[in-house]
Copies of this chain bind each other. A is one copy, B any other.
Amino acid sequence: MKRLKSTPKHDGFRMPGEFEKHAGTYIIWPQRPDNWRNGAKPAQKVFAEVANVIAKYEPITILVNQDQYINARNMVGPKVRVVEMSNNDSWVRDSGPSFVVNDKGTVRAVDWGFNAYGGLIEGIYYPWDFDDQLGGKIAELEAVDSYDAGDFILEGGSIHVDGEGTAMVTAECLLAPDRNPHLTKDQIEKKLKDYLNVEKVLWVPRGVYGDIDTNGHIDNMCNFVKPGEVVLAWTDNQDDPQYERSIEAYNYLSKETDAKGRKLVIHKLSCPSPIVITKEESEGVDSVDGTLPRMEGDRMAGSYVNYYTGNGFVALPVFGDPNDKKAIRLLKKLYPGRKIETVYAREILLGGGNIHCITQQVPKGNGK
């Protein structure tokens, strides 16, 4: 397949909204014992559950290292396709490509630079060489050409698009000094406009409190339900450090308009009560130099916003929290045409993300 040095904007390709029709979904099998407790066995069960849920609605592929191939094949259902691909960790939203389409239905990939959320400064694992190759490799697997974004570092979870010219990011992440310190904010915005083919970038100041793995990815904080309409991670508890972050984002978004000049409708999606790592959970994680440790008492960035939108469904993480029901109720209202599928996802959160972080959609092109 071809490596393209031009840009999607130049060639008339755009990144569709996640809520648009998919050709399928990718997931990467979790395995590293210095991030996933108890040899990743509890996480593997939950990833398999997520895969089986998605398989009910659209084609899904799980990518897996050679040494876990047979185990993964045996743990997921027969509708799931299992394909070998070397990886360092299982965040395909961030290490994988973003896909773009044109009006003729041709699909291409954007292969971003990846440095494990901060490289040698604040990266959360080392090395990340296999993960940096995933963008190009998944493009080949899909048999599509890919745009080479060169050394521009970007995780897919740090952007959302409405498919109609608007992208949304957090300044906390995109301006972090361990991503693209050689670029100004304007230069970064230009890159987003070129590679996502958007006219406007909304810069939410910060992500969810406690999201130190990713420096506050937007995909845990705010998501487009459809053009002109977002959900925002919320709390009414003024004693919670999340409060000022939610208020700040609400105020910012309330005053902004999108690329089409629309005011945004903002739906508040209340977070679960603070979730902290237990002693037992912490002790299940191997200590490895260069990997972010998971310590007892650390607060994880629990948020319902980290859901995945697919063909006819939403895969929503739940936590056994009283707010689970509220989240389900709100999403049922916001997604009338889709089944709300819940997965008890504490294990994914313990690893540093949630359902949106572990999935990557391929938009539907012609003939797919």
- Give the residue of B66, B82, B133 whose beta carbon is less than 8 angstroms from that of A140: B82
Question: Given the complex of chains A and B, what is the CA–CA distance between A156 and B140 in angstroms?
Answer: 26
Question: Given the complex of chains A and B, what is the CA–CA distance between A367 and B1 in angstroms?
Answer: 21
- Residue A22 at the B interface, CB < 8 A? no
Please determine whether B86 and A66 come into contact, CB atoms closer than 8 angstroms.
yes
- Give the residue of B2, B80, B85, B143 whose beta carbon is less than 8 angstroms from that of A84: B85
Q: Considering only CB atoms, which chain B residue lies closest to A79 in the complex?
A: B1
- Give the residue of B1, B83, B86 whose beta carbon is less than 8 angstroms from that of A78: B1
Shortest CB distance A9–B (Å): 22
Evaluate whether A140 and B83 lie within 8 angstroms (CB atoms) in the complex, with A66-B130, A130-B66, A133-B69 already known. yes
- Residue A294 at the B interface, CB < 8 A? no
What is the oligomeric copy number? 2
Contact with B along A1-29 (1 / 0, CB 8 A): 11100000000000000000000000000
Please determine whether A83 and B1 come into contact, CB atoms closer than 8 angstroms.
no
- Give the residue of B3, B59, B137 whose beta carbon is less than 8 angstroms from that of A69: B137
Contacts of A143-195 to chain B: CB distance below 8 A: 143, 145
Q: Considering only CB atoms, which chain B residue lies closest to A141 in the complex?
A: B83
Q: Which residues of B contact A82 (CB under 8 A)?
A: 1, 140
Question: Given the complex of chains A and B, what is the CA–CA distance between A80 and B83 in angstroms?
Answer: 19
- Residue A339 at the B interface, CB < 8 A? no
Q: At the interface, is chain A mostly helix, strand, loop or mixed?
A: mixed
Please determine whether A2 and B66 come into contact, CB atoms closer than 8 angstroms.
no
- Residue A81 at the B interface, CB < 8 A? yes
Q: Considering only CB atoms, which chain B residue lies closest to A142 in the complex?
A: B81
Contacts of A75-94 to chain B: CB distance below 8 A: 78, 80-86
Q: Which residues of B contact A81 (CB under 8 A)?
A: 1, 140-141, 143
Contacts of A271-324 to chain B: CB distance below 8 A: none
Shortest CB distance A35–B (Å): 20
Evaluate whether A78 and B143 lie within 8 angstroms (CB atoms) in the complex, with A69-B133, A86-B66 already known. no
Evaluate whether A2 and B83 lie within 8 angstroms (CB atoms) in the complex, with A59-B143, A66-B130 already known. no
Question: Given the complex of chains A and B, what is the CA–CA distance between A73 and B2 in angstroms?
Answer: 10
Q: Which residues of B contact A80 (CB under 8 A)?
A: 1
Question: Given the complex of chains A and B, what is the CA–CA distance between A141 and B62 in angstroms?
Answer: 11
Contact with B along A64-77 (1 / 0, CB 8 A): 00100110010000
Question: Given the complex of chains A and B, what is the CA–CA distance between A209 and B64 in angstroms?
Answer: 42
Q: Considering only CB atoms, which chain B residue lies closest to A139 in the complex?
A: B81
Question: Given the complex of chains A and B, what is the CA–CA distance between A47 and B133 in angstroms?
Answer: 23
Question: Given the complex of chains A and B, what is the CA–CA distance between A85 and B59 in angstroms?
Answer: 21
Q: Considering only CB atoms, which chain B residue lies closest to A82 in the complex?
A: B140
Listed by A's residue number, 8 A-B pairs whose Cβ atoms lie within 8 Å are A1-B80, A59-B143, A78-B145, A81-B143, A82-B140, A83-B83, A84-B85, A84-B86
